[in-house]
Amino acid sequence: MENIQPHDWFFKQIFSNPKSVKTVLDIFAPDLAEEVQQLNIVNTEKFSKKSKKFILDLLFTCKVKDQEAFIRLIFEHKSYIDYDLPSQLLHYNAVIWQETAKEKQYYPPIINIVFCHGERKWNIPTTLPVLSSKNLEKYSLKLNYLLIDLNQISDEDLKNRLYQDVCTISALLVMKHIFEDIQSFKPIFKLMIEYKSDCLYLAFDYIVLVKKDIEKVEEVLKEVVGGDEKMMTLTEKWKMEGWVKGKMEGKLEGKLEGKLEAKKEDLIKLTQLKFGTVPESLEKIIKQCNEIEELDKIFTKVALAKSIEELENIK
């Protein structure tokens, strides 16, 4: 499972629920949250197939004071800052505008929300470009996004919100600490068990998949619940969820590997549709690539390529 990205899987399991999106807005954009209604998740295949460009991240339609809008969630979990992100956001916005303009002759507001929990400090401005001239401010194209940097939010601030949405808040705590030692999850496990978090077992799965040490996770859980008997009860419930050890890894790996293969097929299909053929060198790169974010980058390059010759230089 070393090439699988459990971060994406966990993020989408949690935030596919409109309630979780509303919780995030309540905490980080309360002024906007008051006006957002009718949140509904969008099947993004509609955009990627029609535009032959991108498979978008989590996308929602909503109403903001009776005006139709989109909210898009992006999760950055790379170990480095991806400076391509702003240009990718602009292109995603263009894809959405292109399709909604065709259907409704309308260019909707798009609210981009970027989550990050990497170990490096985020340093891409949330409004781009950074301008010093008022005239430039008036006439330049601008990109805005809401940044949620989990490393800049204290545990106490999040815990104080547990009453609002236990599942979402505890998931944010787990995402925040996922790169730390397994022992650091003890207080989070205590909270999740005490408050009967609906995503308790999803969190266990996520931690096991990232840490690749189910025995150590079980040891910490045993310390938290207070002995073998209570641990056995909790483990049995975990098993009933269809995970734990080989069964868990097999099922989850199958789902995530299936997603990886689907992206490869979409990329090859896009290249064929756009240029009528797939260069042998590019096909080899696609088949050997086992990182979803790398496939997304190749997808972007193919979508923007104006000639088949440009594809020869893709690495």
Question: Is 251 within the bounds of a domain?
Answer: no
Pairwise CA distance, residues 95 & 198, whole Å: 35
Please choose, from the candidates 301, 249, 307, 235, the residue with its C-alpha nearest in 3D space to the C-alpha of residue 277: 307
**Tens-digit pLDDT profile for residues 220-277:** 888 888 766 666 666 666 655 544 444 444 555 555 566 678 778 878 877 876 777 8
- At which of 152, 187, 216 does a domain end? 152
Q: Are residues 18 and 141 in the same domain?
A: yes
Number of folded domains in the chain? 2
The answer on 277 and 139 residing in a single domain is no
Q: What is the pLDDT of residue 6?
A: 85
pLDDT at 247: 46
- Domain boundary residue among 104, 135, 152? 152
Cα(53)–Cα(305) distance, integer angstroms: 11
In degrees, rounded to 5, the angle at the alpha carbon of residue 80 between the alpha carbons of residues 79 and 81 is: 135
Read off the amino acid at residue 84: D
| Residue 287, domain extent | 265-311
Query: How would residue 47 be classed by pLDDT, with cut points 50, 70 and 90?
Result: low
Q: Which residues contact 112 (CB under 8 A, 6 or more apart)?
A: 72, 74, 89, 92, 93, 144, 145, 146
The predicted structure's pLDDT at residue 258 = 65
pTM over 0.85, yes/no: no
Residue 173 belongs to a domain = no
Percentage of residues in the chain with pLDDT exceeding 90?
36
Q: What is the mean pLDDT of residues 142-153?
A: 93
% of the chain surpassing 70 pLDDT: 83
Residue 62 confidence (pLDDT): 96
Q: Which of 29-33, 277-281, 300-304 has the lowest mean pLDDT?
A: 300-304
For residue 258, being part of any structural domain is answered with no
Instruction: Tell me the C-alpha distance between 112 and 127, whole Å.
Output: 11
146 and 14 within one domain: yes
147 shares its domain with 269: no
Asked whether residue 220 is domain-assigned, the answer is: no
Please report the pLDDT score of residue 148 as a whole number: 94
Q: Read off the tokens for 53.
A: 């460009």
What's residue 42's pLDDT? 87
Of residues 231 and 182, the one with the higher pLDDT is 182
Q: Which of 152, 174, 192 is the last residue of a domain?
A: 152
In a domain, 232, yes or no: no
Q: Verify that 146 and 270 share a domain, yes or no.
A: no
- What pLDDT is stored for residue 119 in this prediction? 76
Query: Could you tell me if residue 254 is inside a domain?
Result: no
Do 11 and 143 belong to one domain? yes
More confident residue, 280 or 5: 280
CA atoms within 13 A on the CB side of 43: 4
The tens digit of pLDDT for each residue in 80-135 reads 788 888 988 998 898 899 889 988 999 999 999 999 987 788 999 999 999 889 89
Does 49 map to a domain? yes
pLDDT of the residue at 3: 43
Q: Is residue 170 part of a domain?
A: no
